[in-house]
Amino acid sequence: MAQINEPKLISGNANRPLAAQVARRMTMHRGRAVDLVDARVERFNDGEIFVEVFENVRGEDMFIIQPTSNPANDNLMELCIIADALRRSSAARITAVIPYFGYARQDRRSKARTPITAKLVANMIVEAGVERILTLDLHATQIQGFFDIPVDNLYASPIYALDVMHNFKDQRDDIMVVSPDVGGVARARDLAQRIGAPLSIVDKRRGKPGEVAEMTVIGDVKDRTCLIVDDIVDTAGTLCKAAEVLLEHGAKEVHAYITHGVLSGPAVDRVSKSVMKNLVITDTIQATDAVKNCANIRIVPTAPMFAQAILNTSNGTSVSSLFNHETLGPIYEGMYKG
């Protein structure tokens, strides 16, 4: 087997700013320049995707940075075609860094005659030649089992723990972590344990699909600073409604920490008009101008964590060490000093 060299990064068009930031952070860690591999990812007039890699990648340890966010199908095909191009160019190993794994919400058969699309996507990625997956906050952790290759699922909660301890240091005794539904309790509990805060749940009941008929707060949120924790915010309807219900139950103020800011349709407008003080998201999905200009949306970078995870993967050292906010502290020291 060819000897694996220093990691090399290549990116599709899904989130090039994040890929560039990962390369910059790796440059800081390495003390020498790390650039994205020179390549073109273009489309023919009929929409077909074409990839050409301009550098030699034979025997290289390649990392493709490509979330499968909107447009999900185009970005997924870019990922698969880049992987195929690298495999046919004799790359030693191909790792797909997928900050946001699209189709993850289709992880089971919720009704008769429906697909498990997350499994189908996993098969496509493996068949394209990817040998390892590095991702962040999968919608359901069992999706790791859909792949027959190693999957490292990182977590945003260690970063958010640092953010909360930095931005709410004078309100630590008043914080209440809130799960917006019963299914997200484990994720919310993880952050609650990291910052030493109690946990509450918003139980929602749907009258019909896509419409919330009733919300009930489980736990005492009176005079508390509530932090809603979830993995995906899409149209933000349920999130904004949950914030209103928490205030009706006596909460002092409401903030939200959501990993993936899908923010489709009326989401940004809803958030800007909502009672939430802040919606904190990561940069796993490239932010639109509307998201960047929204006064109560704040973006936390994931590049420092992904850069370290890529280096650890390439070096054969622990990736699970990045599950601890104490480990991430020095990596994020520029943002959260002290």
For residue 135, give the 3-state DSSP assignment: strand
- Give CA–CA dist 283/245, Å, rounded: 28
- Structure tokens that stand for 132 in this block: 């390892």
- Structure tokens that stand for 166 in this block: 């930095």
Q: Are the beta carbons of 197 and 177 closer than 8 angstroms?
A: yes
Q: Alpha carbon of 256 to those of 60, 66, 206, 265, 287: distances in Å?
A: 41, 26, 22, 19, 17
- Give CA–CA dist 129/318, Å, rounded: 24
Nearest alpha carbon to residue 147 among 122, 118, 124, 125: 122
For residue 9, give the 3-state DSSP assignment: strand
Long-range contacts of 292-295 (CB under 8 A, 24+ apart): 294/268
* Residue partners of 72: CB distance under 8 A and separation at least 6: 102, 103
Catalytic member of 204, 241, 252, 277: 204
Nearest alpha carbon to residue 266 among 297, 235, 242: 235
Nearest alpha carbon to residue 264 among 235, 286, 284, 236: 235
Numbers of helices and strands, H then E, in the chain: 10, 14
Laid out side by side, the sheet with 225-233 consists of 211-218, 199-208, 175-179, 225-233, 253-261, 278-282, 297-300
- Structure tokens that stand for 45 in this block: 């007039």
For residue 258, give the 3-state DSSP assignment: strand
Residue 8 is among the residues annotated as catalytic for this protein:
no
For residue 167, give the 3-state DSSP assignment: helix
- Give CA–CA dist 243/154, Å, rounded: 27
Residues pairing with 114 in the sheet: none
The residues assigned a catalytic role are 204
